[in-house]
Amino acid sequence: MAKYVAAIDQGTTSSRCMIFNHAGEPVSSSQMEHEQIYPKPGWVEHDPIEIWSRTKDVIHDAMEKAGLIASDIAAIGVTNQRETTVVWDKNTGQPYYNAIVWQDTRTDKICDELMGDEGQDRLREQTGLPLATYFSGPKIKWILDNVEGVREAAMRGDAIFGNMDTWVIWKLTGGINGGAHVTDVTNASRTMLMNLEGTQWNDDICELMDVPRKMLPTIRPSSDPEVYGYTANNGPFGGKIPVCGDLGDQQAATVGQTCFSVGEAKNTYGTGCFMLLNTGTEIVQSKNGLLTTPCYKFGNEPTVYALEGSIAIAGAVVQWLRDQMRLINTAADVENLARMVEDNGGMYFVPAFSGLFAPYWKSDARGAIVGMTRYLTRGHFARAALEAVAYQTREVLDAMEADSGVKLQALKVDGGMVANELLMQYQADVLGVPVTRPKVAESTALGAAYAAGLAVGFWKNTNEMRQNWGIDKTWEPNDDETPRVDNYKMWKKAVTRTFDWVE
């Protein structure tokens, strides 16, 4: 009897393989970063071949560390950076172009044209999303319009599209030898080509964006007892295992944090930062700049939806301080550097590197550092960068409370940045509610494992998963009102300085 479930988490910064036992505890883990490619200002790409190669490496490594073979694994779940777009030749397995990453802003003109006179919310009712560079539909159009021969190949049925979930599942289940070309409702929705209601491709929007319908994957449940496909004997797991869980990474973290009831929310601090609030089977349209998105669909049960506050730059600002500014050597160093100063010294850093996402949706905003004086030191840069993550989260939480009428009592957090204790305390101070980190902070991978395990009966129901959740640490808000009131007011003022920058 297989005692474990494997999860592959293909994130913006790295790819991970984690193996969990029935108690939802990680028994093995392996992670590798991949290259971030910046060909022009505002453009961000990944190499899909490098990503698949890293994925295979982390699978081998995680299996080897735990001394496991394929028959020990009951099921595999995949979770992924959402929206990032790959178009490849199904006969050769070769991508026609690098993956265009969710943060990439090259489709701003395409989005402007698509808006026409109707504005940013033209497709919001059907898709739950504003027209923005973030989503895959316009990225597919860019590849079809700009890479020679791809449109013709798509018309012939040779060029196929996928987000990273689709790419990884296709590869895992055999690739050119009959790999499954599938996605799940959570990922499909982020293309802007899917109807929220009914969770099917919308032919009118496909036509509007000039995307041939036949290049799109089949939309399946996030946890699918019918199984997307099986790993090949000569694949990285070395044997036949059902691949039957697929969730966008933010939805996976919501599942991993066991937010199964209406009104439960989590916030994940990775490259970006994403807060999701479970709204049940009801589709709640946002009036305050949030997204409406499927949260998960388990088998034949109805789709559960969420309100989402997406922040483009969170951990990415720390990477930028490390890789481009060379202020720190490792991401973790940012905490010590920030602790060298008492406060932000009046400096506010709005990292609108990819424009501003929720709640503003301004593609033409760009980053700004304001309030600078000669008093400031390197420590203030680190401090202001971390504070920016906390203020952006407050903006999203305010919007979520306004949209849902739910007053959050505590915030469940996870992701790479929650190792940063200074940030977590400041987050509690800015929000005025406790912030809680679970025992397993890799909620994203755990959520993908839960989706796959549920499909094969490894976990019987969501109650079993809830029992696995436990608290590692809680940060209580400080009594001092300054961060909540005065600093947040200055942050709001700083944000306005980034608007309308791109001509």
Ligand X SMILES: Nc1ncnc2c1ncn2[C@@H]1O[C@H](COP(=O)(O)OP(=O)(O)O)[C@@H](O)[C@H]1O
Ligand Y SMILES: O=P(O)(O)OC[C@H](O)CO
Residue numbers of the site for ligand X (CB under 6 A)?
Answer: 11-14, 270-271, 315-316, 318-319, 331-332, 334-335, 415-417, 419-420
Whole-number minimum distance, CB 421 to ligand X, in Å?
9
State which residue, 44 or 331, has the beta carbon closest to ligand X: 331
Residues numbered 414 to 443 that lie near ligand Y (CB under 6 A) are none
Annotated binding residue at 186?
no
On whether the CB atoms of residues 433 and 477 are closer than 8 A, the answer is: yes
Q: Is 251 exposed, middle or buried (0-12, 13-18, 19+ CB in 10 A)?
A: buried
Site size toward ligand Y, by CB under 6 A:
12
Whole-number minimum distance, CB 66 to ligand X, in Å?
20
Rounded to whole angstroms, what are the CA distances from 46 to 49, 85, 318?
9, 10, 19
Whole-number minimum distance, CB 423 to ligand X, in Å?
6
Q: Which of 278, 227, 284 is nearest to 251 (CA)?
A: 278
> Strand, coil or helix: what is 142?
helix
Stretch binding ligand Y (CB under 6 A), from 46-54, 247-255, 424-432, 494-502? 247-255
83 lies in the binding site for ligand Y (CB under 6 A): yes
DSSP symbol at 497? T
On whether the CB atoms of residues 226 and 237 are closer than 8 A, the answer is: no
Annotated binding residue at 12?
yes
What would the x/- binding string for ligand Y be over residues 32 to 51, using CB under 6 A?
--------------------
Q: Which of 87, 104, 106 is nearest to 96 (CA)?
A: 87
Show contacts of 194-198: CB within 8 Å, 24+ apart: 194/127, 194/219, 195/126, 195/127, 196/126, 196/127, 196/128, 196/283, 196/292, 196/294, 196/305, 197/126, 197/283
Stretch binding ligand Y (CB under 6 A), from 147-155, 166-174, 246-254, 256-264? 246-254
Residues numbered 93 to 112 that lie near ligand Y (CB under 6 A) are 102
Greatest alpha-carbon span in the chain:
66
User: 403 touches which of ligand X, ligand Y, none (CB within 5 to 8 A by kind)?
Assistant: none
What would the x/- binding string for ligand Y be over residues 457 to 496, using CB under 6 A?
----------------------------------------
State which residue, 102 or 348, has the beta carbon closest to ligand Y: 102
For residue 137, the surrounding DSSP H or E stretch is helix 136-146
Cα–Cα dist 383/184, whole Å: 39
Cα–Cα dist 77/59, whole Å: 12
State which residue, 111 or 311, has the beta carbon closest to ligand X: 311
Stretch binding ligand Y (CB under 6 A), from 28-36, 117-125, 172-180, 245-253? 245-253
Cα–Cα dist 406/198, whole Å: 26
128 lies in the binding site for ligand Y (CB under 6 A): no
Instruction: Name the token pair of 323.
Output: 């890789």
270 lies in the binding site for ligand Y (CB under 6 A): yes
Rounded to whole angstroms, what are the CA distances from 345 to 143, 299, 323, 376, 379?
45, 52, 24, 7, 10
User: 319 touches which of ligand Y, ligand X, none (CB within 5 to 8 A by kind)?
Assistant: ligand X
User: 24 touches which of ligand X, ligand Y, none (CB within 5 to 8 A by kind)?
Assistant: none
Stretch binding ligand Y (CB under 6 A), from 29-37, 80-88, 299-307, 399-407? 80-88
User: 83 touches which of ligand X, ligand Y, none (CB within 5 to 8 A by kind)?
Assistant: ligand Y
12 lies in the binding site for ligand Y (CB under 6 A): yes
State which residue, 321 or 495, has the beta carbon closest to ligand X: 321
Instruction: Name the token pair of 66.
Output: 């735990």
State which residue, 250 or 344, has the beta carbon closest to ligand Y: 250
Annotated binding residue at 13?
yes
Instruction: Name the token pair of 324.
Output: 């481009």
Query: β-strand 4-10 against 73-80: which pairing, if any?
Result: parallel
State which residue, 380 or 437, has the beta carbon closest to ligand Y: 437
Whole-number minimum distance, CB 56 to ligand Y, in Å?
19
Q: Which of 246, 282, 249 is nearest to 266 (CA)?
A: 249
Residue in the structure block whose two tokens are 């609030």? 277
State which residue, 357 or 459, has the beta carbon closest to ligand Y: 357
Cα–Cα dist 113/128, whole Å: 19
Of 212, 272, 351, 367, the one binding ligand Y (CB under 6 A) is: 272
Q: Where does this chain bind ligand Y (CB under 6 A)?
A: 11-12, 81-83, 102, 248-250, 270-272
> Which residue numbers belong to the known binding site for glycerol?
82-83, 134, 249-250
> Which residue numbers belong to the known binding site for ADP?
12, 16, 271, 315, 416, 420
> Which residue numbers belong to the known binding site for sn-glycerol 3-phosphate?
12, 82-83, 134, 249
